[in-house]
Amino acid sequence: MWHALKAELAYFRPWLLGGLGIATGVVLLLSVLMRFSTDEDGPPAFLVAIFPIIAGMVVSFIAGSYRIEERRARLLLSGALTPRKLAWVTVLLPACFVGLSVLAVPPILGAAALLAGKFEFSLSPTAGTFALQFWAYAQLGPLAQESSAARRQHRGRAGLLGWAVFAGVILVLAGCQFFLRSTQGHMWQVMAIVAAIGVAATLYQGRTDFTR
C-alpha cells in the first residue's frame, strides 16, 4: 500500500510543486502590493497560510480525476493490493497533499515576512479552522466519487449513505463558520473529516467494479 501511495505522490509531485509555486507567487505579490500601496505591513499570517493549503486541496481534486481517467485501480489490482489497501491509498492521497502543503506554510510565511519587513508569525486559530476546512473539502472528493460509483453499481444503500455523509460534512463545515476560533468547531471539523475518510474507504471496499 505504501509503495502505491508513494508512487502516486511522486507522480503528482509536479502538480503539487506547481500549485505551491503559484500560491507562493500570489502571497509574495500580495505582500509587495500591501507594503507599498497600503499602510499594512503585509497580508495577515492566516491569509498567507491559506494559499498553499488551497493549492494542496486543488491538487487532490486533480489527482482524483486523473486516477479515474487513467484507470489506476486496474493497475494496482494487478498486483498484490486488495481493495482495502486500494481504498486507503485513495482516501489518504488528499490528506497527504494537504499535509505536504501545510509543511510549505512556514517557508512561505518567512518569504512573505521578509518582503513585508515584519517577522511576527502569530497564526490565529482561524488559520487552523481554514486548514481543516480545506482538508475536509479535499476529502469530499473521494467520498463523492465513491458515492457516485455505488449508485452506478446499483448499491443503492451504500450510495445513499455516501451522499448523506457528504451532506452532513457540508453542514458541519457551514456550521463551523460561526465557531471559527473555537476548539469545539475544530473538533467538529476533525470528526467530519474522519467520517468522510471512513465512509469513502468503506464504500471503495464494497465496489463491484474496479475497471475505472
Please state the closest distance from residue 80 (CB atom) to another protein, in A: 5
Select from 8, 16, 24 the least CA-distant residue to 108.
24
Residues that bind another protein (CB under 8 A): 3-4, 7, 11, 70-84, 207-211
CB-based contact 127:42 (threshold 8 Å):
no
Please state the closest distance from residue 106 (CB atom) to another protein, in A: 30
Please state the closest distance from residue 74 (CB atom) to another protein, in A: 4
Q: Name residue 207's amino acid.
A: R
Name the residue nearer to another protein (CB basis): 71 or 181: 71
Distance in angstroms (rounded) separating the CA atoms of residues 181 and 187: 11
Name the residue nearer to another protein (CB basis): 84 or 181: 84
Name the residue nearer to another protein (CB basis): 80 or 174: 80
Name the residue nearer to another protein (CB basis): 83 or 125: 83
CB-based contact 137:59 (threshold 8 Å):
no
Angle, in degrees to the nearest 10, between helices 83-103 and 13-37: 30
